[in-house]
Amino acid sequence: MNDTLLWYTTRGAGAVTLMLLTGVVVLGVLTAVRFETDSWPRLVAAGLHRNLALLSVLFLGLHIVTAVVDPYAHLGWASAIVPFASWYRTFWLGLGTIAAELLLAIVATSLLRRVVGPRGWRTIHWLAYVSWPVAFVHGLGTGTDSGSGWLLGLDAVSAGAVVVAVVTRLWVGPTDPLARARDLFRAADGPAQP
């Protein structure tokens, strides 16, 4: 495989992974606040969240493999597994390794959700709120095109989407999953009797 193709594949897979992970985080927040409309039921957000997460793992794998086999950087597999083990852009690549490992923990517990239980799964799933910004900063500091206008624009859109989603989550707060059912029950029952 020629070096130019590897370079483009690594950069492209990294950018696509950022977009997919941004969508995963935003949809995860929408699912957590139980967002839904008539045309967008919660089931759609949850299903899309899961499918985007799986797709992002595939693109992340492509990003890592092509970066490791690219002869320009000579990264080696240790730098993909051990944070800050690379001689090349040690700090930035170390952040990428940490973000990937956090994401793998989330994927593993999602696949083993029945084994770890809902509380364990939810606790580890909160790592997504750490994984995304670490991956985001990794992308800001590594890669030969990290300062290019198109990538900075993509970074700005991604950061904006996540900030809006998190602020919305904090604003809305925890939702009562039974509130709507109780309201419907009360409406069907008629006015309250003294």
pLDDT (tens digit, 9 = 90+) per residue, 24-83?
Answer: 988 888 777 666 666 666 666 778 888 898 999 999 999 999 999 888 777 888 888 999
The more confidently predicted of residues 74 and 130 is 130
In a domain, 87, yes or no: yes
The more confidently predicted of residues 45 and 193 is 45
Region for 49 from its dihedrals, namely left if φ exceeds 0, alpha if ψ lies in -120 to 50, beta otherwise: alpha
In a domain, 81, yes or no: yes
In a domain, 194, yes or no: no
Could you say which DSSP state residue 1 is in?
Answer: -
The angle formed by the CA atoms of residues 28, 30 and 35, to the nearest 5 degrees, is 145
- Measured between its terminal Cα atoms, the distance across the chain in Å is 79
Give the domain extent around 103: 3-189
**Residue 5: its pLDDT value, please?**
86
Q: If DSSP states are collapsed to H, E and C, what string results for 55-81?
A: HHHHHHHHHHHHHHHCCCCCCCHHHHH
- The set of residues, in sequence order, having a beta carbon less than 8 Å from that of 53 and lying 6+ positions away, is 24, 106, 107, 110
**Residue 30: its pLDDT value, please?**
77
Domain tally, the chain: 1
pLDDT (tens digit, 9 = 90+) per residue, 172-186?
Answer: 766 656 656 666 666
Q: Is the pLDDT of residue 193 over 80?
A: no
In a domain, 56, yes or no: yes
Q: Predicted confidence band at 138 (pLDDT cuts at 50, 70, 90)?
A: very high
In a domain, 75, yes or no: yes
Specify the amino acid at residue 138.
H
In a domain, 170, yes or no: yes
